[in-house]
Amino acid sequence: MTEVRTRRLIEAVASRVIAAADELTALDRQTGDGDHGTNMKLGCEAVLAQLEQLASRPLPDALRAVGNILQMKVGGASGPLFAALFVNLGKSLAHAPEQPPGQGVQSLALALRDAVAAVARLGKSEPGCKTMLDVLVPVQRVLETGGAAPERAADLAARIEAAAADAAEATAAMKATRGRAAYLGDGSIGHVDPGARSAQIMVAAVCGVLREA
């Protein structure tokens, strides 16, 4: 991936999360400590502060570096989880076999599968627990179908973005069984999970860049 594309991807993801900080904080006030948006904003601002350096690296190295920044800068439970997502994405992509031009979807799907598994292990969670996994797993499944039956990048990006949006909204109907929201029991029902919403925002940002290509 070119330096320009890496830069655009990182900048888009971080900027979109920063712009949504107030929304994420409002969501977290309903079921958590109310600091998710602030924490994610601080982490993404730190990422943007190193954007030029990050963009000069191969994508796998850049992703690992982003994860390390989030680990250091994002507080609460979300920091280690989003850090694990980016670090393991980078690790998996670094070891992915070379793909012919236009056929990298399969490698990305496998890398996301590995990253999602790492997040699940760290958070001792699974889909249905009302967490970021409830967005990441549906996205990974759509990505796998795109690798198995190749389609135009713009079409696949649109399907992924729609799946992420639907999945984030679906967390409102779930009862939280992990994280601080779990202490609310049935009181967590009716509220979108802020971690899931953050994951959806990131996915939408990536899909937007891919559609521009």
Query: What is the number of structural domains in the chain?
Result: 1
pLDDT, tens digit, 9 for 90 and up, residues 131-174 = 999 999 999 999 998 766 666 788 899 999 999 999 999 999 99
Report the 3 state secondary structure along the chain.
CCHHHHHHHHHHHHHHHHHCHHHHHHHHHHHCCCCHHHHHHHHHHHHHHCHHHHHCCCHHHHHHHHHHHHHHHCCCCHHHHHHHHHHHHHHHHHCCCCCCCCCCHHHHHHHHHHHHHHHHHHHCCCCCCCCCHHHHHHHHHHHHHHHHCCCCHHHHHHHHHHHHHHHHHHHHHCCCCCCHHHHHHHHHCCCCCHHHHHHHHHHHHHHHHHHHC
Q: Which domain holds residue 191?
A: 3-212
Please tell me the predicted confidence (pLDDT) of residue 150: 64
Q: Which two tokens stand for residue 79?
A: 């920091």
Task: Tell me if 42 sits within 8 A of 74, measured CB to CB.
Answer: yes
64: number of CA atoms within 13 Å, CB side?
12
Across the chain, mean pLDDT equals: 92
Q: Which two tokens stand for residue 198?
A: 């953050």
pLDDT, tens digit, 9 for 90 and up, residues 93-127 = 998 765 544 456 888 999 999 999 999 999 999 99
More confident residue, 129 or 102: 129
User: What CATH number is attached to the domain comprising 106?
Assistant: 1.25.40.340
Q: Please give the model's pTM, rounded to 2 decimal places.
A: 0.93
Please tell me the predicted confidence (pLDDT) of residue 157: 92
**180: pLDDT strictly greater than 70:** yes
Task: Give residues with Cβ within 8 angstroms of 10, minimum separation 6.
Answer: 47, 51, 54, 55, 62, 66
Q: Positive or negative, the Cα torsion across 82, 88, 93, 96?
A: negative
